[in-house]
Structure 1
Amino acid sequence: MKNFQPMTNYRWTICSLIFFATTINYLDRQVISLLKPILEKEYNWTESDYSNIVAAFQLAYALGMLGVGSIIDKIGSKLGYAISLFLWSIASIMHAFASSTFSFGVARAFLGVTEAGNFPAAIKVVAEWFPKKERAFATGIFNSGTNIGAVIAPLIVPWIAISYSWQMAFISTGAVGFIWLIFWFLLYRAPSTHKLVNAAELEHIQSDVEFEKANGSESEIDIPWSKLLTYKQTWAFAVGKFLSDGVWWFFLFWLPAFLISEYKLVGMEISFPVAVVYLMAGVGSVAGGWLPMWLMNTKGWDMVRSRKTSMLIYAVFPILVMFSQAAGAYNMWYAVFIIGVAMAAHQAWSANILTTVSDMFPKKSIGAVIGIGGMVGGFGSITVAKSAGALLDYYKAQNDVQTGYYILFLFCGTAYLIAWFLMFRVLAPKMTPIHAANK
């Protein structure tokens, strides 16, 4: 008689590790937006100066994405993740020694190229440790680390800067990554060789592989990078990232400045509203990953219908952000709540758009495709950043900065519906897996 062994759940421990790595990733990158009022006085930055520094990060991040995904595919997720996090921690600390606008740009560029490794590595880990029906949920959980990092940052960074110095804010947040590395090397192994993963859990993790083998698919084909560029599925992901990434980055780098400008907040007053927005975004990330899994398990929908329907729902909610300024005229918290809803929708969208890569591509090509899409998304973010700097400088000169923000919010509110249409009506309406497309 077969001995049925209860399934272990070590894959969720791995999910928690990449959650904390993503938290550190966003903690490090958000420090400069919270120190902007201090740094722009010390270095006489204009909005365009600041946007150039932001763009230096985004350009390096985009170019880094292009190569780092393929590197992680080759050297493996364990070593690739560790190298990336070690280097971006060094880059974060380097900001403390910057002495000019140019040197800040250099430090930001180094941070960008090294932080580019987080998402290709994290999505690859999820694909290695979770079956397809759980991947969006796992991605939503680790992706919520972006929000937790963004919540922690406004609570501690201004306090460190006021109590000690802005330099210490960069040093202390950058050093956190070294602690994570200890746990990563102690706890991470491949699922097939991990002593804390029993046969039942390994069978669950590999259930897609067994199904694909039984149906004659080629789940482990290795597609050359140049070949990936010929698939519409690659460009569906890339177009979706191009239109939506810039929205997130705009709020990440300009939300504190918007609240300070609009509501005359000073000192630590900025901390709580920003923290509330990112807490809401964190809920959106987890709920966004849960919904398609629920539709598949409870409603019996297939993966494609569940994914596309969920993403359409998430694409509608950002429209509300166009009304945030009008609502905020009555009370700041109305604007904070509306922006929080929009950012929660973005994170729900993000948990799913990242998962579309493992839905459509074999595991050996996931890092490369994430890298390609991340690069295109990075250029979209640069476009938004440069446009934001130019618009806000222009309208500041006209004493009408609110109009500049409204134009930016107009884009933020409509970008997701445009992206959804291009992804699922034009480029990849059936989300056909690559192995099937090749037959």
Structure 2
Amino acid sequence: MSQLGTTASTQPGKMSKARWIYIGLPLLILFTVSMIDKSNINVLLANKPFLQDLGIKDGAIKGSLSSIFLITYAIGQFGWGFVVDRIGAFKSGLIGIFFWVVAMVMGGLAESVSALFWSRSILGLSEGVLYPIALTLTAKWFPSNEQAKAQALWFNGNSLGPVIGLPIIAMVAQSYGWRESYHALGAVSLLCLIMFWVMVRNSPSSHYAVSHTEKEFIENGAGSKKELANTGEVKAVLKNPIFWMLVAVYGCISIGFYGISTFLPSYLTEAKQIPFVQSAFINAAGYGLAIIVQMSSGFWSDKIMKRAVFVGGASALIIIFLLLAMFTSSPVGAQVLTILLISVLLMPAALTMTMLHKVASPQVMGRIGGIFGCISYVLAAIGPMVVGAGSQLSGSYTGGFLVLLGFIAVPLVLCLVLMRKGY
């Protein structure tokens, strides 16, 4: 497979911006499309024709469709972490993206819940490649004083995806049918495969658009951290208590995020009596605001180099906004609070992963990122199951959402410890 040349096409003395254009931008697009692909099911769970066609009647099945993705996503991240360190982010990305195209096509052809489970499982396994390749590319392409901004950029795809995708999926499903939403997303994912092949390379030294000056800046730039581990020291990272604190923070935040986001469209339509398409736009507005929140937090955390402050603060706001949204009697107030809630849901996850760069070097980031993601997303699968089972048992979403608050309180406490340790 052609690498389109390995020498820089720009003048040796000129600073190029290849790291942002050829790495940051494609990762942003990949995370945007992947988030649309995985959250497609969240919108369709509020679509009556979809539920009727596949015979979905209770909250437990709804929660399981989200949880099966998270479980296979966790398994995928673990396996891909080792693959990425072995064959590189470039080849790994091509393989993973190809199979998530296959998964979306399968979803559009599904005739039963079991077929949909297979589609969600393959999607989880294949999309599991994303975090190992993104963390590895960020470690190799950006100096430490740019890593929070870089990760905020591509992590914003998790917000941009719903902004673009949720309203479009809702309108396509309502106007043309739910199967067509799957087929359209499969086509978009195929375009992502082509984009990745053309633009991304494993390292600055193997990229056709990197100048000598940019290469030197990346390798020796201001704030470049001392290597903390090499390829033979994965065990040393796993013995570091900070690593496990970060796993707990990210896992509990993920429990809250997936528990809330899976059921928000259904919650708004059923509990707050908000029309189906309108609920999708409310969610999209929240993710739109989240883009601003994440980029601002990434910029300021790079300035003060204190990520845990922002993670802890966002955890507190999630608890406050969720409680107020559940118990307000005002429909308008519920919509505003939902937007504010969504705006802070993803920010702590991005900055928690930025802290991961302080405990693992680029040489082991694929494996460490895979292990980190695997454990975190196994925990994340608890979220939809808690809300789904809670709504089934109590007849409302309130009980399940209240349980989620206990998990979100854990990062708030752990961040106080991380702040004292300089994170």
The two structures share one fold, judged by TM-score above 0.5: yes
Q: Is 1:293 equivalent to 2:310 in the alignment?
A: no
**Alpha-carbon deviation of 1:4?**
9.6
**1:195 — aligned with what?**
208
> Contact 1:318/1:416 (CA < 8 Å) preserved in 2?
no
CA–CA distance in 2 between the matches of 1:406 and 1:15?
35
CA–CA separation in structure 1 for the residues paired with 2:404 and 2:368:
29
1:172 alignment partner, SS class: helix
- Residue in 1 aligned with 2:412? 417
* Matches of 1:8 and 1:200, distance apart in 2: 7
Question: How far has the Cα of 1:327 moved from its partner?
Answer: 6.2
1:19-418 paired onto structure 2 within 5 Å: 19-37=28-46, 38=48, 39-42=50-53, 43-189=55-201, 190-207=203-220, 218=227, 221-223=230-232, 225=234, 228-295=237-304, 303=305, 306-325=306-325, 328-332=328-332, 334-396=333-395, 401=396, 403-408=398-403, 410-411=405-406, 414-418=409-413
**For 1:175 and 1:321, how far apart are their aligned partners in 2?**
37
Q: Say yes or no: does 1:9 pair with 2:17.
A: yes
AA partner of residue 223 (structure 1): G
Contact kept? 2:102, 2:186, Cα under 8 Å: yes
Contact 2:77-2:131 at 8 Å conserved across structures: no
Q: Give the whole-Å Cα distance in 2 for the aligned partners of 1:414 and 1:219.
A: 30
Asked if structure 1 preserves the Cα contact closer than 8 Å seen for 2:318 and 2:345, the reply is yes
Give the Cα separation in 2 of the matches to 1:4 and 1:52: 54
Query: CA–CA distance in 2 between the matches of 1:50 and 1:331?
Result: 25
Provide the C-alpha distance between the structure 2 equivalents of 1:69 and 1:375, rounded to a whole number of angstroms: 9
Q: How far is the alpha carbon of 1:279 from its aligned partner?
A: 0.8
- In 1: Cα distance, 2:325 partner to 2:310 partner: 28
Aligned in 2, Cα 1:152/1:408: closer, same or farther, shift over 3 Å?
farther
Q: Give the Cα separation in 2 of the matches to 1:22 and 1:312.
A: 24
Question: SS of the residue aligned with 1:263?
Answer: coil
2:5 matched residue in structure 1: none
CA distance in structure 2 between the aligned counterparts of 1:123 and 1:97, rounded to whole angstroms:
33
Q: Evaluate the alpha carbon distance shift between residue 211 and residue 61 of structure 1 in structure 2; reply closer, same or farther with a 3 A threshold.
A: closer
Measured after TM superposition, the shift of residue 404 of structure 1 is 2.2
Higher deviation after alignment, 140-149 or 44-53? 44-53
Kept in 1, the 8 Å contact 2:36–2:166? The answer is no
1:283-302, Cα deviation, whole Å (9 max, x unpaired) = 2221221111122xxxxxxx
Alignment partners' CA distance in 2, 1:142 and 1:355: 12
Contact 2:259-2:385 within 8 A present in 1 as well: no
Summarize the Cα distance change of 1:406–1:192 in structure 2 as closer, same or farther, 3 Å threshold: closer
After alignment, is 37-46 or 50-59 more displaced? 37-46
> How far does residue 275 in structure 1 lie from its aligned partner after superposition?
0.9
Distance 1:82 1:24, change over 3 A: same
What letter is aligned with 2:250? Answer: K
Q: For the Cα contact (< 8 Å) 1:24–1:149, is it kept in 2?
A: yes
Residues in 1 aligned to 2:182 and 2:255: alpha-carbon distance in whole angstroms:
24
- Normalised to the residue count of structure 1, the TM-score between the two structures is 0.86
How many residue pairs get aligned? The number is 408
Q: Distance in 1 between matches of 2:354 and 2:101?
A: 27
CA contact (8 A) 2:253 2:408 kept: no
Task: Output the amino acid matched with 1:370.
Answer: G
Call closer, same or farther: CA 1:245–1:419 in 2, change over 3 Å.
farther
Q: Is the 8 A contact 2:325 2:338 kept in 1?
A: no
CA drift of 1:225 comes to: 4.8
Identity among equivalent pairs (%): 21
Shift of residue 19, structure 1, vs aligned partner: 0.1
- Give how far 1:183 is off: 2.1
| Residue deviations 1:208-227 (CA, integer Å, cap 9, x gap) | 59966xxxx55671035555
Q: Tell me, in whole angstroms, the C-alpha distance in 2 between the residues paired with 1:231 and 1:413.
A: 23
Q: Which amino acid aligns with 1:130?
A: F
User: Residues 389-423 of structure 1: CA distance to partner in whole angstroms, max 9, x if unpaired?
Assistant: 11100111xxxx15325514533652430342465
Cα distance, 1:251 vs structure 2: 2.5
- What residue identity is the alignment partner of 1:20? I
In structure 2, C-alpha distance between the alignment counterparts of 1:125 and 1:404, rounded to whole Å: 41
Instruction: Quote the offset at 1:342 in angstroms.
Output: 3.4
- CA RMSD, Structure 1 to Structure 2 (Å): 2.4
SS in 2 for 1:329: coil
Distance of 1:405 and 1:336 partners within structure 2: 19
Instruction: Give the conservation status (yes or no) of the 8 Å contact 1:154–1:270.
Output: no
- For residues 93 and 31 of structure 2, what CA distance do their matches in structure 1 show? 11
* SS at structure 1 position matched to 2:346: helix
Q: CA deviation at 1:236?
A: 2.1
Cα distance in 2 for residues equivalent to 1:71 and 1:209: 31
The one-character-per-residue Cα deviations of 1:238-283 (angstroms, maximum 9, x if unpaired) are 1122211111112321110111112223342222111111112222
Q: For 2:280 and 2:262, locate their aligned partners in 1 and report how far apart those are by CA, in whole Å.
A: 14
